Amino acid sequence: MNTLIIRKATRVDLPAVMDLIRELALFEKAPEQVTNTVASMEHDGFGEHPVFGLQVAELDGIVVGMALYFVKYSTWKGKGLYLDDLVVTATHRGKGIGSKLFDAYLQEAKSIGAKQAHWQVLDWNTPAIRLYEKLKASIEAEWLDCKMTEQQIILYPNH
């Protein structure tokens, strides 16, 4: 049958999305770092004030991929869309599903009038890097990723 549908996610998709997130964390060798929950995602993505958008890839009725994104803002460029994660389950990689999810993400960027589409990729994730190069994306090495954990935020300013 092999019917692939790329669509906006619903609350019902969240358990499958969490499975994809856990699979991605295993792939990135950091499964213990996943602290998000279906309940948090339901509140944050489908509550009164959603803070993210989510597309899923459904193959024959089963969610096999997802792209999660949110609006960002650049003082230099204006509104942009940040792709936090794009993941396709291991058994379905290499079939063009990731490209179709990326297309849906870029369509969302166009629909909101984004001036930039932005995301990150691990420097050792060569399949993803190859995909982004094939899609003619710019891969920049000059910017360093900075972040604070929840604990660091709570303790700030404690310097």
Domain count, the chain: 1
- State the Cα–Cα distance between residues 35 and 140, nearest whole angstrom: 29
* pLDDT of the residue at 159: 60
pLDDT at 147: 87
Indicate which residue of 69, 73, 105, 132 is catalytic: 132
pLDDT tens per residue, range 148-159: 888 888 999 866
Q: What is the pLDDT of residue 142?
A: 87
Q: What is the pLDDT of residue 33?
A: 94
Inter-residue contact 104 to 65 (CB < 8 Å): no
At 74, which CATH number?
3.40.630.30
132 is an active site residue: yes
Contact between 83 and 117 under an 8 Å Cβ cutoff? The reply is: yes
User: Which whole-number Å values give the CA distances from 84 to 6, 17, 43, 117, in the listed order?
Assistant: 17, 13, 18, 11
Low-confidence ranges of the chain (pLDDT < 70): 1, 158-159
The range of the structural domain enclosing residue 107 comes to: 4-155
